[in-house]
Amino acid sequence: MAAGKRYEKNQSGYTLLEVTVALIIIGISFAVLLGQLSMSKSLSFKADLMIESVRILNNITEDSMIVKKAVRDGGGKGDVPDESGWLYSIKVNPLEIRLKPDDEESVEIPGMDKLRICIKRSQGNSQVNHGREYCITRWYRAK
C-alpha cells in the first residue's frame, strides 16, 4: 500500500450517533407503551371487580330469605351465600320522601322500607380492594 493513498469514506451506512438516537427513541416509545398497558390492566381489574359486585348485589336483592330476615330484624349482616370472601350488610329504614325538592320535611310512606345493601371483600381475602364497599338502595314493600 502506498503511503500517500487515501481511503474513501463509505457513505452508505449509519453513524454510531444516529443508531444511538434511534435506539433511545424506540426505548422511550416502549416505555410509554408499557405504561399504557399497565394502566389498561389496572382498569380491567377494577371493571371486573365492579361487574362482580353488581352481580353479587343483584343476587342478594333476589334472595328473598336474606331480604325478609333483614326487614324483620331491622337490618343484618353476614357472609354472602355461595360467594367466598364477600360480606354483606343491610340497613332497613322506613321509606321517606320529600314531596317537593325544596321541602325540608319528608313524608314517611306507610308499608314501604328503604334497604341499603352493601358488600365488601372480607379482610382475609387475597385480592386487595382497599376496604371499598359497593352499595345499592332498594325500596321494599313491607307486608
Give the three-class secondary structure for 12.
coil
Domain ranges of the chain: 16-141
Quote the cell numbers at residue 2.
502506498
Q: What is the DSSP string of 66-111?
A: HHHHHHHHTEEEEEPTT-TTEEEEEEEEEEEE-SSTT-SS-EEEEE
Confidence of residue 27 (pLDDT cuts 50, 70, 90): very high
**pTM score above 0.75:** no
Q: What pLDDT score does 17 carry?
A: 93
Instruction: Reply yes or no on whether the pLDDT at 130 is more than 70.
Output: no
The reported pLDDT for the residue numbered 124 is 65
CA distance 3 to 43: 69
pLDDT per residue over 61-94, tens digit each? 999 899 999 999 999 999 999 888 899 999 999 9
Apex CA 129: angle with CA 127 and CA 134, to 5°?
A: 125
Instruction: Evaluate if residue 115 carries a pLDDT over 90.
Output: yes
